[in-house]
Structure 1
């Protein structure tokens, strides 16, 4: 239990930056839906989906590779750090320059005529993220959680500051005559531009500090170090692409796949904005998964040498499922008031019904992350390629088949179906090559019951708002009671044993 407590403690610290930062970003939905048009929200949804996808390409699994080669390969950690950062810096210059030069073509192809600067800024954002990845990973490996969390939080607040300044404050000052249109080059017709510019400024400003705290590196590219790292990381690139394919590709493709006039009085890009805004509501599940991932990845690798590690991994998975299913229910049954609170303008609430499905999709993503530990610690990352390929095919197929028929729900289904199949394949291969005693039947039971309860609570309508609120939230209590009755023996084992006097 000391190991579980240690993981929980690290998750809490890393979660401080991840959950606080992403929660603040989540709250920016209020600003974006209040001050930006649905078309600008559509652009925001599409471009940031592209950024999320390309971010995986720019880092190509090097964070996980760095953890593996500094903890389980008997190599000098300093040499691994130098080579990893040097390799990533080199590839970033190549990829970033290529994207920068292709910006005019991308703008035309993605229907942003005359806005090539959007994709030049995108190239810089991706480059800054990539050259910060390994220094941040080194801080995690060295258990410098407070420095890591503090820097992440500062970065988030910088981003929010620039967003509020450019989207809220400047327009207000212009409207009351304090400053004039064109002040410092300000343009009132810009929307998504200021979101990108804020991100770019915030990331660029923290680079010197992060490099200083992580330790400056010596440029080294040694074949004996890089070749095995490269071999290990490339399959992880495909695994990462699978994750973002399901999570982001639906948001990127939605406006291009949706038939014209599918939704009355909405263009395809505006409908994409509605879809993306409702997708943001499901980010509350992703907050927990991201915080868990920050702490769990180095923790799992460090525990891999312990003969009891499979049992520990199974316990972590079970607790993860219990917590996340409870969270899914809590969010779903409260969407009636959460939706209007965060999605400010009329029309966004039309997509609320997809949120429970998206929450389940994120939950399956977290389960997949737990399951994938077997091929990471056994150096069998080649399996991630095939699992990824199947997941990507399913995601793309569902988007093209069901979005034209079901609209918003078609995009949400691509999330849940892709991750379900990936979890199934990862579990079956994992039990063959690295058996872990998961409580599979019980876990599936919790997933199915919680999903049904989530939609039951979402659609429950007793007429009066107060009565509705208490009736919906009583479902959370009923689920907790069920967990207690089924898990009471395990709960006792998790509690600290009292010392005899």
Structure 2
């Protein structure tokens, strides 16, 4: 119980920063839907899906390799850090330079003619993100969760501040609606027709300003490339690159390529890029599950490695998985049955609500991504990371097939189903292969029951409509209460035990 308490405490700190950060970032949704048109949101959806995909390539699994080789390998963590940081920096600068130099053909190939500057900014964003990845991993490795959280929050606040400045404040100054004496200062360079441009610029500036903060906290690093350290790290990390790509392949194919798979005129009155903007905006509503998954991953990955030598490791992993499913499935029901309220709160323009029905599928998909993160620890601590390649390849094929077959037929639902299908298949495969190589006594039947009931209640609440908003609110949230009672009845002994453990000083 003390180990679970430790993991929960670390997850809470990461979770608070994630929740605050994502909530602050989520507040940009009404700003974007209120100030930008659907075409600009479509461009935002595609380009940020591309960034998510390329981020994985720029860091190529070295964060997890750093965790692994800093513990249990008999190496000096300081030299592991210096070598990992040096290699990631070299690779990031090389790839970033390539994208920068070929920005024009990339822009034309992706149907953004005359906007090569967007992809030059993307090159800078990706390079800075990669260079900061290992320092952030070091904060996690050293258990400096609060420092990690504060730096991440600083980055998010800077990003949001620049977004508000460029998209709202400068816009109203330019139109003589705010601080008119400043209009002459910005009228010569401000572009009112820019949308995604200012989003990227805000991100770039925020990332750049975080570099000196991390260097101050961690000190300078010595450039060092030792073959004896990097070669085994490289062999360990490359399969994880493909596992990481699985986590974003779905993002790219379902969000970034949605507009390319959707037939013209599928949604009346909407271009394909505008429909992609609606799809991307509704994808944001799955953030409530995604932030929990992210917070858990931040805390669990170093925790799992640190506990890998414990003889009770399998039982510990099973307990973590069990309570992870319970917590996340409860969150899924809570969010899904209140989607009408959440949508009305955050969509500041008409037309976005037509995509709400896809969100429960996305919530379940992200839940299975979290399950996969739990399951995948077996091949990380046994150094069998090549299995991640096979699992990723299968997940990617499933994603492509679902996108190509279901988006033309089902539109938003087809795109969202690719998320669920990909992560569900990866979880199933990872579970069965893991049980052969590193058996863990998961409570599989009970977990599947929770997932099934949660999914049924989520869609049941979503489609339950009495015609009265007040009655709907109580009817929908009664389903949350029902699910909570079910959990209590099935887990009351464990709940009492956990409560006593957490109350101990």
Shorter-chain TM-score: which interval?
Answer: over 0.9
Matches within 5 A, 1:289-300: 289-300=293-304
Deviation beyond 6 Å, 4+ runs, structure 1: 497-500
Q: Which of 444, 450, 467 is the equivalent residue of 2:448? A: 444
What residue ranges of structure 2 are gaps of 5+ in the alignment?
A: none
1:143 alignment counterpart: 143
**Structure 2 residue 48 is the aligned partner of structure 1 residue 37:** no
Q: Which residue in the other structure is 2:258 paired with?
A: 254
1:24 pairs with 2:55: no
Equivalent residue number for residue 79 of structure 1: 79
Deviations 1:383-432 (A, max 9, x none): 00000000000001100111111111110010000111100000000000
2:219: which partner in 1?
A: 215
Matching of residues 12-411 of structure 1 within 5 Å: 12-176=12-176, 177-178=180-181, 179-180=183-184, 182-183=186-187, 185-411=189-415
Aligned length: 500
Q: CA deviation at 1:211?
A: 2.1
Structure 1 residue 249: Cα displacement: 2.3
For the Cα contact (< 8 Å) 2:58–2:91, is it kept in 1?
yes
Q: Which runs of 5+ in 1 are unaligned?
A: none
SS at match of 1:264: coil
Q: Deviation string for 1:438-489 (max 9, x for gaps)? A: 0000001110110000000000011211111001000000001011111112
* Separation in structure 2 between the aligned mates of residue 49 and residue 126 of structure 1, nearest angstrom: 12
Superposition TM-score, scaled by structure 1 size: 0.98
User: Structure 1 pair 366/499, CA: closer, same or farther in 2 (3 Å)?
Assistant: closer
Question: Secondary structure of the residue that 1:496 maps to in structure 2?
Answer: helix
Higher deviation after alignment, 137-146 or 300-309: 137-146
Root mean square deviation of aligned Cα: 1.4
2:426 to 422, 428, 439: 422
After superposition, the Cα gap between the structure-2 partners of 1:471 and 1:389, relative to the gap in structure 1 and judged at 3 Å, is same
Distance 1:279 1:497, change over 3 A: closer
Q: Find the residue that maps to 2:257 and give its secondary structure.
A: helix
Shift of 1:180: 4.3
Question: Within 2, Cα distance between the matches of 1:366 and 1:216?
Answer: 34
1:463 aligns with 2:467: yes
CA distance in structure 1 between the partners assigned to 2:133 and 2:501 by the alignment: 41
Closer/same/farther in 2, CA of residues 258 and 499 from structure 1, 3 Å limit: closer
| Residues 469/124 of structure 1: CA separation in 2 closer, same or farther (3 Å cut) | same
SS of structure 1 residue aligned to 2:440: coil
Which of 471, 478, 484 aligns to 1:480? It is 484
CA contact (8 A) 1:285 1:362 kept: yes
Task: Give CA-to-partner distance per residue, 1:42-63, whole Å, 9 cap, x none.
Answer: 0000000000000000000110
- Match of 1:259, SS? coil
8 Å contact from structure 1 (residues 181, 187) kept in 2:
no
Residue equivalent to 1:496: 500
